[in-house]
Structure 1
Amino acid sequence: MIDWRTALGLSEPRDSDWGKVRAAQIAAVRRHWPTRLAAELLGIALLWTGLTGRVPDTWLWGWTALALVAALGTGLWRARAAGAETTASPAGLWRETAAALAAALVWAAPPALFASATGVEAQLTLCAVGFAVMVGIVLLLAPLPLAAAGALALAAAGSTMFLGVLGLDLLAIANLAFAAVLLASALTQGRAFLMNTAAQFALVEKEEVVSLLLREHEEGDADWLWQIDAAKSLTHVSPRLAYALGEEALAIEGRPFLQILAGDSWETGQFAPALHALADKLKRREAFSDLLLEVKVRGETRWWELSASPRYDEQGAFIGFRGVGSDVTVERHSADKINRMARFDTLTGLPNRLQVNEALGQAMAEAEKWRGRCGFMMIDLDRFKAVNDTLGHPVGDRLLGRVSERLMGLMSENELCGRLGGDEFAVVIRDASDPARVEALGRRIIEELSRPYDVDQHTLYIGASVGAAVGPRDGRTVETLIRSADLALYRSKDAGGGHYHAYEPQLHVHAEERRVLEMALRKALEKGELHLAYQPVVSADEAVVEGFEALMRWTSPEHGNVSPAKFIPLAEEARLIGPIGQWALRTACMEARNWPSTVRVAVNVSAEQLHDPRFVDAVRTALADSGLPAHRLELEVTESVFMREGTNAVAVLGQVLALGVRLALDDFGTGYSSLGYLSRTKFSTIKIDRSFVQGASRNAPESLAIIRAVVALADSLGMSTTAEGVETEEEYAMIKRLGARKIQGYLFGRPMSPADARALFPNATRTAVA
């Protein structure tokens, strides 16, 4: 409760900021100045209407001038000051009270001043103005109880005197009674206004303190309250703040806050940017929140988050800041870790694709700005997949770590190396104005990465292929420059790996040709552009035809005769090898029905087909539709089918063998397969690659030794051997001496049409369909 002395402004509570309440009182009165001005002008007009000719004009003019000056002067003053103050001093409240009393005195004067007016109309006008003034005082001055009481007293005195002069004693007494009622109402309203206003400010203050306290406690020991004075020195240091600073509370009380936060850098003046930002906020007396600041506590780097707002006393003078601080070191470290994870490869520690792209974008912007050149290299490891599949991913991961170490050893300040994913790496070259230097770096990378690695007691040999592009010549955007480097890398891989190639505009032409060729290949099967050619396989002893290998050919109206070495890899990459392979299987089985029952047909199968769960059904369907016995079909696979992760290929081959189909292992010795596959998969034939045959014909010791070893291995496992690429009588004789069972090559026939193959068996009858 507020006592009457406080309500009248004669005293103030000691435990409250009464300056805000006083400002609210003044603002409440000033808000009504337009209404008050309008009422005063209306009153002046009413008096002129009722008193003209009944009182001396000089008196009326004099009073009117005084009323207008008071009304307009105080009105303009209040309009300009309305809402401008958040706190007010007692002197300000007394000034507002005095202004209200002066205005009341002006309006209390007419009944006494013009009491001699004659005529009922004039007398009623003065009575009406007197009553209106008293009611208006209650409505407009209630927030200032003392001003309302004084103004009512003046107005009541004037109107009562007027009624007494007229001899209306009873009305004079009634007027006094009415004034008393209005006074009680004004004082009651004013007191209620003060109580509500004080309660609202107290609630806001409590909410602010509670909010700060809640923030102080919600995260345990990490948060604290802090407060500084107008000189930026610490005041009311809490134990928690002292603990956070590693000091005693009394030792830092009154010390400059910025000096404590700056630590050793205070003497040198080398402040962190965040400390400059804090100093600027304090200087400008601006509120701030969540300002991140690096501080040193007992030699340890900590991260603080500060929030605060300026404080003012009841006279509106700045008295400092009060806020809350949080130790967010753990959160900062977590954020740094997350940021590093988002920008660095977790396996190798190199920048990841995101950071590489950003670095390339910055390098391109600098090159564009200074009219220079930047470079981008893409690096792909050769034969890494074989290591991963044969020795396992843990060994492969450790190998990638060794590769990244070697790459980092080759980088200077001009380059940034990162991992894009898998076994693909990239290098951003900030200044690539010297092409020879770029090429030298690319070749050093190939040389360094091709040296042997010792990983988990394994000596591993891999290589690297590099493609490079220079911006903005080879691309004006990050995407186009990466694309250009990728095309150059593809050229290096296409050359067999272990090569460096820089981008050439022709590579885009080749890529476009490849895209067009892929589109044509997608339609080649349905247009009947694919056909099979059959190359004889003869016995080594008597040169009798024992079978044919079905070889796929493509004759395109747009592209002519396309080499299998060109379209077969394209079909595998475009996932077209499945339907094309099924067509070849069906076509070869249908054609083999026209041959003698002792002649087999061999069909090549890619690794992609063996990893298709529908492949066994496709073999079963081809045999059933053609009526060809299963033992007359031989599927040729290369060692690459065993290089993919998992054993699905082995399982599928086992199901094919269960059908009675024979298996041949093509190009044995040129890949990376384990001899374990030979023991687990029952191959009927091992084919010796033509490169060994040609080497043996030149008496190369390695080739001779390999052929002898393959023949001995096949014989011991109950398998046959077929030597490929036999083209001369000398090679034929040599292969017979080395013990190969079957021979395939131009000496006994080139790939031929189905009609030419059937012509080799003039007396053969068509196989009946089962």
Structure 2
Amino acid sequence: MFGSKFKAAGALARARGAGASDRPGGGGGLKGFQILAAGFSIAAALLMAISIAVERTVEDVVKRQAIADSERWASHMARKVPDLERLIATGLPDAAQEEALRDTRSVGSIFRFSLYDSDGRLVLVSDDSPVGGAGSGAPEIDAEAAAVARTGRSTAGVDDGTGRTDRPDLHAEAYVPIRDGTGAIRGVAEVYVDVTATRAFFTASFRSFGLILSAACLLMVSLPASAYVLQRRMALKAQESVEFLARHDSLTGLLNRAEFTARAERDGRCTLHALAFVDVDHFKQVNDTHGHRTGDALLTHIAHILQSEAGPEDLVARFGGDEFVLGIRNPSEDAAIEHVNAVVRRCAEPFRLDGKRINSTVSIGLARVDCAQSLDRTLSQADAALYHAKAAGRSDLAVYGSEMGERMAARRALEARVRAALERKEFEIHYQPLVDGVTHGIVGYEALLRLRSDAGDPIPPAIFIPVAEELGLISEIGAWVLRTATAAFAAIEDGCTLSVNLSAVQFEDGALVPTVRAALHESGLPAQRLELEITESLLLGDSRSVEMQIDALKEMGVGIAMDDFGTGFSSLSYLWKYGFDRIKIDRSFVGALDENPERARDIIETTVLLGQRLGMKITAEGVETAEQSALLTQLGCDVLQGYLYGRPGPIADFHRRDFGT
């Protein structure tokens, strides 16, 4: 209709224009003005109609786009979040669900969401704490959510967020049903979609079309088709993004575990000749020291190295956390080893982020693929080789051998034993007496952690304590030791001191000082009767955090001792900077008194003199003979400790006993 009018007006203008030119001085000017005015009126009406049509069409397209994005997001979220039905029922996500929700929140243009149960009650908001709680009562039913849950039909509305800091300028709020694998509705998601760019895009596009339509009047019929094509294009783009995230790691862009396994199985396990299990050394320390942003940058950096070193047919995946897997198709074992060694070397090179130098390394376990065994079995073998590489000192490659499987099984059993002992409180504390260097009377005890196997055999602390540290359990175990030992000593009225060893890991989470303060408060043990022993390795990083924690402990009145002095990276600056109350001479120097008496004596005497000048007490460890005891007393050691005075055991074995002569 608009097209025929426009053509008629144009023909009339041409006809009247021709007649006026044939008649000089005629009324062509007025008629021309009338025709022009009529043309402008028609154009204005057409533009107004097009403008209204554009606004309505854009509004409808934006809503449909928001619903489509929201439904795809809800489907993606239902697949990614484990045990979603329980989450909707309780509104209390566990750690795995929280991580999955964080990953899904930023998909596409989604910036916020709320979850409702099948009755329409609000149970969870993405940027808030769980809804409800003790005494809060059940949330009110949201009518719109309840309607969607009842009918299964999605709805959407567009809101103006101008002036709000927590909203984009224009956003849609869509209510979409959440369905399980059978299609049943389990809940409703209220999804907030940023449609600012979408609306701007469609508005600009449609207005451009409108100008062309107003000039040519031929494109009116193409408007719905153009809208459909544009909507379809954006829908496909969003769908591609969701499908990519379903198969890839959102941080690094590498394959995820499921996709790696699917491709390896689809192509045939025998097309892969080796699997390399890659783990970042001390990744938790990087996160704790530099922050999670730096940790993410490190993971992305390592992913880039793996991709650049991988062959065109190789598979590279991030399995989660700081674990990567490389599927190698090169049939040459030597080539595979050289290939992986190149990864180790490159990952050991420092990289810079925001002017900071980040040092990190990786350990890699390599296992050859056996077509007769499952992919999971080969991954377990690569994991066993990885454990061997870490045990050998890290920043290294280990190739799987059958004996590694046995070591890995023993390691897993030890990990299980440590976890079970902590859960069932099966750790033991034995105490070794500390005697006065002159009178040989007991002046204190050192608390020593002990653990037995399921068969009742003792497990050496040098074996199970590093495992507890790697499992992230040492802080909890250390807190138990402090509570238990201080409670035991608070009941002893003879003034004996209690010495407790600290792991360097206990300084990392910042909870050490509150833990010590709580143990003293609960037990009633005076702080002056507690002495904490640390090793030199803790001080190598020259951490300001460690210094502050040591200062806080000393201000409480707790004594601080440097354990195993002389065996590590002994530095006089440590003694001066941290102001230790005691130096403990390592047992290796005491034992050397029998083998190389002159040299050992010189070292011990020098250490004693140094401690005396700095106002520090001296304890000698590992005293096993009367001759050693006499010499150490002569050299000026304040306190002696060793098997000569008793092996570690229950406190009752030593209480009120002395070794004076």
Contact 2:532 2:559 in 1 (8 A): yes
In structure 2, C-alpha distance between the alignment counterparts of 1:343 and 1:709, rounded to whole Å: 64
Shift of 1:489: 2.7
Partner letter of residue 278 of structure 2? I
The alpha-carbon distance between structure 1 residues 723 and 389, as it changes in their structure 2 partners (threshold 3 A), is farther
- Higher normalized contact order (CA 8 Å, seq sep 6+, divided by chain length): 2
Superimposed CA distance per residue, residues 457-511 of structure 1 (whole angstroms, 9 cap, x where no aligned partner): 8877543322244556697356x66555444433433444234344554356335
Shift of 1:646: 10
Corresponding position of 2:425: 525
In structure 1, C-alpha distance between the alignment counterparts of 2:381 and 2:392, rounded to whole Å: 17
Partner letter of residue 518 of structure 2? D
Corresponding position of 2:413: 513
In structure 1, C-alpha distance between the alignment counterparts of 2:289 and 2:610, rounded to whole Å: 22
Contact 1:343 1:355 in 2 (8 A): yes
- 1:351 matched to 2:253? The reply is yes
Shift of 1:397: 6.4
Matches within 5 A, 1:284-295: none
- 1:362 matched to 2:259? The reply is no
Tell me which of 246, 253, 275 is aligned to 1:376: 275
Corresponding position of 2:532: 635
SS in 2 for 1:326: helix
Partner letter of residue 464 of structure 1? V
The alpha-carbon distance between structure 1 residues 323 and 410, as it changes in their structure 2 partners (threshold 3 A), is closer
In structure 2, C-alpha distance between the alignment counterparts of 1:446 and 1:693, rounded to whole Å: 41
Shift of 1:679: 7.3
Contact 1:663 1:684 in 2 (8 A): yes
The alpha-carbon distance between structure 1 residues 214 and 397, as it changes in their structure 2 partners (threshold 3 A), is closer
Partner letter of residue 449 of structure 2? M
Superimposed CA distance per residue, residues 357-403 of structure 1 (whole angstroms, 9 cap, x where no aligned partner): 423430232124xx444543232233555566556677766666665
Question: Bigger radius of gyration, 1 or 2?
Answer: 1
Tell me which of 215, 219, 222 is aligned to 2:205: 222
Corresponding position of 2:563: 666
- 1:617 matched to 2:521? The reply is no
Corresponding position of 1:600: 497
Contact 1:487 1:511 in 2 (8 A): no
Shift of 1:591: 5.7
Contact 1:373 1:472 in 2 (8 A): no
In structure 2, C-alpha distance between the alignment counterparts of 1:734 and 1:445, rounded to whole Å: 54
- 5+ unaligned residues in a row in structure 1: which ranges? 1-14, 16-206, 227-237, 244-248, 254-304, 309-321, 765-770
Tell me which of 312, 332, 338 is aligned to 1:413: 312
Matches within 5 A, 1:51-450: 215=57, 219-223=202-206, 240=212, 325-326=229-230, 350-352=252-254, 354-355=255-256, 357-368=258-269, 371-383=270-282, 386=285, 403-404=302-303, 406-419=305-318, 424-431=322-329, 433-450=331-348
In structure 1, C-alpha distance between the alignment counterparts of 2:280 and 2:332, rounded to whole Å: 25
Shift of 1:450: 3.5
The alpha-carbon distance between structure 1 residues 223 and 395, as it changes in their structure 2 partners (threshold 3 A), is closer
Corresponding position of 1:534: 432
Contact 1:532 1:584 in 2 (8 A): no
Superimposed CA distance per residue, residues 501-531 of structure 1 (whole angstroms, 9 cap, x where no aligned partner): 44554356335523652465247636xx724
Superimposed CA distance per residue, residues 399-443 of structure 1 (whole angstroms, 9 cap, x where no aligned partner): 666655554453322434455566x24232142655554444444
- 1:562 matched to 2:459? The reply is yes
- 1:467 matched to 2:365? The reply is yes
TM-score by length of 2: 0.51
TM-score by length of 1: 0.45
In structure 1, C-alpha distance between the alignment counterparts of 2:319 and 2:313, rounded to whole Å: 19
SS in 2 for 1:751: coil
Give me the CA root mean square deviation: 6.1
In structure 2, C-alpha distance between the alignment counterparts of 1:491 and 1:549, rounded to whole Å: 33
Corresponding position of 2:390: 493
Contact 2:54 2:203 in 1 (8 A): no
In structure 2, C-alpha distance between the alignment counterparts of 1:443 and 1:587, rounded to whole Å: 47
Superimposed CA distance per residue, residues 596-623 of structure 1 (whole angstroms, 9 cap, x where no aligned partner): 64x5331224455972645422223334
Shift of 1:549: 1.6
Superimposed CA distance per residue, residues 287-335 of structure 1 (whole angstroms, 9 cap, x where no aligned partner): xxxxxxxxxxxxxxxxxx9985xxxxxxxxxxxxx99653998898888
The alpha-carbon distance between structure 1 residues 548 and 466, as it changes in their structure 2 partners (threshold 3 A), is same
Partner letter of residue 461 of structure 2? P
The alpha-carbon distance between structure 1 residues 761 and 577, as it changes in their structure 2 partners (threshold 3 A), is same
Contact 1:419 1:425 in 2 (8 A): yes
The alpha-carbon distance between structure 1 residues 390 and 330, as it changes in their structure 2 partners (threshold 3 A), is same
Partner letter of residue 563 of structure 1? P
In structure 1, C-alpha distance between the alignment counterparts of 2:206 and 2:611, rounded to whole Å: 78
In structure 2, C-alpha distance between the alignment counterparts of 1:589 and 1:726, rounded to whole Å: 28
The alpha-carbon distance between structure 1 residues 752 and 674, as it changes in their structure 2 partners (threshold 3 A), is same
Contact 1:356 1:428 in 2 (8 A): no
Shift of 1:632: 2.8
In structure 2, C-alpha distance between the alignment counterparts of 1:341 and 1:671, rounded to whole Å: 48
In structure 1, C-alpha distance between the alignment counterparts of 2:425 and 2:455, rounded to whole Å: 15
Contact 2:387 2:408 in 1 (8 A): no
The alpha-carbon distance between structure 1 residues 325 and 547, as it changes in their structure 2 partners (threshold 3 A), is closer
Contact 1:223 1:324 in 2 (8 A): no
Superimposed CA distance per residue, residues 17-55 of structure 1 (whole angstroms, 9 cap, x where no aligned partner): xxxxxxxxxxxxxxxxxxxxxxxxxxxxxxxxxxxxxxx
The alpha-carbon distance between structure 1 residues 715 and 380, as it changes in their structure 2 partners (threshold 3 A), is farther
In structure 2, C-alpha distance between the alignment counterparts of 1:483 and 1:687, rounded to whole Å: 43
Superimposed CA distance per residue, residues 117-174 of structure 1 (whole angstroms, 9 cap, x where no aligned partner): xxxxxxxxxxxxxxxxxxxxxxxxxxxxxxxxxxxxxxxxxxxxxxxxxxxxxxxxxx
SS in 2 for 1:636: strand
Matches within 5 A, 1:544-559: 546-555=443-452, 558-559=455-456
In structure 2, C-alpha distance between the alignment counterparts of 1:365 and 1:577, rounded to whole Å: 44
